Structure 1
Amino acid sequence: MATNHEPAAAGSTAPAVDPKDASTVILVRDGQSGELEVFLLRRVAGMAFAGGMTVFPGGGVDPSDEDANIGWSGPPVSWWARRFSTDAARAKALVCAAVRETFEECGVLLAGPTADSVVADTARYARARTRLEQRELSFGEFLESERLVLRTDLLRPWANWITPVGEGRRYDTRFFVAAAPDGQVADGATSEAEEVRWQTPAAAIAHWRDGASVLLPPTWTQLSRLAGFGTVAEVLAAEPDIPQILPTLVGEGKGLRVEFPDQEEYYAARPHPWSKRSGDV
């Protein structure tokens, strides 16, 4: 994880803000046309972080995510720690946050009454979902009260991006992929989303290229990678390397530009009038 010893952005003398842990889940499904689709939401404009941007469900790790005493089905915490190059406590918190945030933001719950089952309909948990989002209820308390087991085997590790040094809000984000469970409906019933939709990765990129949405570099990169897969099964079978990617901010005119791996197509596709705020990743 990045530390406060990182250098500040070019031209800045302020110490770097320590990034907070976060988890993001890329929900995928096989669409009716037979093509791979991903679930995207447009965040409410004016939010402190990534307002108005089109993103995958996700958010910051809560302290209770690490402390949760829950049923766990799937790869052990030690496996997740190795894949994300971190310690066991943080790995557990990241996985719990991934499932919790996905449930809060779109109603999809990667859990079931047994180690080999998954909830078919999450409507009965609507009240608990609201309480989770408002931090009136911890995820561990919710799972325990409903006698549910966390299905970590439905998730796959995918990527790790850190917000550039120089931003006021920074996150060390682990990306996961997961297949949307049969019978569950991903929705936009959250205070953080203005719009949600399922799209093929190619269509989402075309939508962005036409100026109809704003994709931050990590989101664009994951969509570009997923465009190379045809089905959910292919995505879940992948075992990608997960390097830690830390973009940098560089001055460009009166604003700042985000530099990141394989960025040429991103900047060639359409102009990006980045300011310090819109450069958040």
Structure 2
Amino acid sequence: MAATSNPKAQGQVPRPSASVVIVNSRNEVLLVHRNPQARHFGGVHVFPGGNLDRNQDTSIAMTAIRETFEESGLLLASSSKSSTVLSDEFLDDSRAKIHSQKLNFQSFLSDHGLTPDIASLLPFTQWITPVNVPRRFHTQFYVTFLSASAGFSSGAKQDRIPKPNGGQEVVSARFLHPEDALAEFRAGKITFMPPQVYILQTLSEIFKSRQNMPAERERVQKLSSGPFGRMVINPRPLSAPDKDGRSILTYEGDETRGGSKGRLHRAQIKSGKGGISEMTLQRNFDVLTEIELHAFDTPCKFKL
């Protein structure tokens, strides 16, 4: 039986947004825990990111950098002045003003001789919310590798983390290895959305060590520059949830979505509070060498 769709959602244009998977020297990725009281994705763990702000962002990549700064305090930018040192207190104050629209992000960067590190952002798939979901987003995911000199380091260290007050969107942030993040998800300790599980599982198949190696970085870069990095994924429910609340989402390239017979590109999920409580990814092809391009539509462009 086909899943029923929300007529209002079908006519809704997905909102442009961006999210960044930040990888440190220990192959850990930065996850932020959204405020449980947040209007969207409350209580879910996600990569830093948010919606395009046409008053502040000149590109979707700028959205990714601005939102990362607002949500984690981590500024993906470099200074043209070697003598420029911005204190944590100043960065905290600036971040709060940018978040509350009292300070323009572009002005903040230019006033302090800062250049956003757009070139460091590696495209790592786009995702479009299914048509049966009330609020829809078109999200560009990126991966970037963090230098050892950045504000964050590893593990449980928490520098410049938003406090759970004043309407902040994030209550905590930490670095976790993809395998550890997936283990916590399977144990029910944290909640994700399908794109996070998909990307974390993809990275867990690459980051086999606990120290970032050149070969691992190279594989991520190859994925980014190849068909995988350009994939636009439009999940579609294959059927209504069963008696246990589990359902199947199919992705482009699945045998039901333009792929060859026997090709699986889908996930079995079980919805939970705010996100999903279970997800099993079924992908029986190599994402570096075996993506069937004919199964994917022309990549969508973001309108600024």
* Alignment TM-score > 0.5, same fold: yes
Check the 8 A contact 1:27/1:38 in 2, yes or no. Answer: yes
Residues 41-87 of structure 1: per-residue CA shift (max 9 Å, x gap): 11111322111111000000101244xxxxxxxxxxxxxxxxxxxxx
Identity %: 26
> What is aligned with 2:125?
159
Which residue pairs with 2:300 in the alignment?
none
Equivalent position of 2:92 in the other structure = 126
Q: Which runs of 5+ in 2 are unaligned?
A: 153-158, 252-264, 277-304
Give unpaired runs (5+ residues) of structure 1: 1-8, 67-91
Number of the residue aligned with 2:14:
19
SS of aligned partner of 2:59: helix
- Look up the SS of the partner of 2:140 in the other structure: strand
Q: Secondary structure at the match of 2:80?
A: coil
What SS is found at the alignment partner of 2:30?
A: strand
Contact 1:25 1:58 in 2 (8 A): yes
Tell me: higher relative CO, structure 1 or 2? Use CA pairs within 8 A at least 6 residues apart: 1
Matches within 5 A, 1:1-281: 10-14=4-8, 15-31=10-26, 36-66=27-57, 92-114=58-80, 123=88, 124-181=90-147, 182-185=149-152, 187-189=160-162, 191-230=168-207, 231=212, 233=214, 234-235=216-217, 237-240=221-224, 241=227, 242-249=230-237, 250-253=239-242, 257=247, 259-261=249-251, 262-264=265-267, 267=269, 272-274=270-272, 278=275
Q: Structure 1 CA distance, aligned partners of 2:176 and 2:86?
A: 22
In the TM superposition, what whole-angstrom CA distance separates every residue of 1:164-210 from its partner, at most 9, and x where no partner exists? 11222111000011122324125422511223221110010010001
Secondary structure of 1:161's aligned partner:
strand
With normalisation by structure 2, the TM-score equals 0.69
- TM-score (norm: length of structure 1): 0.74
Q: How far apart are residue 11 of structure 1 and its match? A: 4.5
Cα gap change, 1:102 to 1:232, in 2 (>3 Å):
farther
CA spacing shift, 1:24–1:258, aligned 2, 3 Å: farther
Give the Cα separation in 1 of the matches to 2:196 and 2:85: 29
| Counterpart secondary structure, 2:138 | strand
Amino acid at match of 1:129: R
Aligned-residue Cα RMSD (Å) equals 2.8
Asked whether the 8 Å contact 1:64–1:139 carries over to 2, the reply is no
- SS at 2:28's partner residue? strand
Q: Which has the higher helix share?
A: 1
> Separation in 1 of the partners of 2:12 and 2:137?
10
Tell me, in whole angstroms, the C-alpha distance in 1 between the residues paired with 2:23 and 2:235. 26
The 1:10/1:128 distance shift into structure 2, 3 A limit, reads: same
Cα separation, partners in 2 of 1:237 and 1:119, compared to 1, 3 Å: farther
Secondary structure at 2:189 match in 1: coil
Give the whole-Å Cα distance in 1 for the aligned partners of 2:77 and 2:129.
Answer: 30
Q: Distance in 2 between matches of 1:158 and 1:53?
A: 21
Q: CA deviation at 1:260?
A: 3.5
Change (3 A) 1:120 1:169: farther
Answer with 1 or 2: which has the greater Rg.
2
CA 251–149 in structure 1, closer or farther in 2 if over 3 Å, else same:
same
Please tell me whether the aligned partners of residues 44 and 193 of structure 1 are also in contact (alpha carbons under 8 angstroms). yes
Instruction: Confirm or deny: 8 A CA contact 1:247 1:258 kept in the other structure.
Output: no
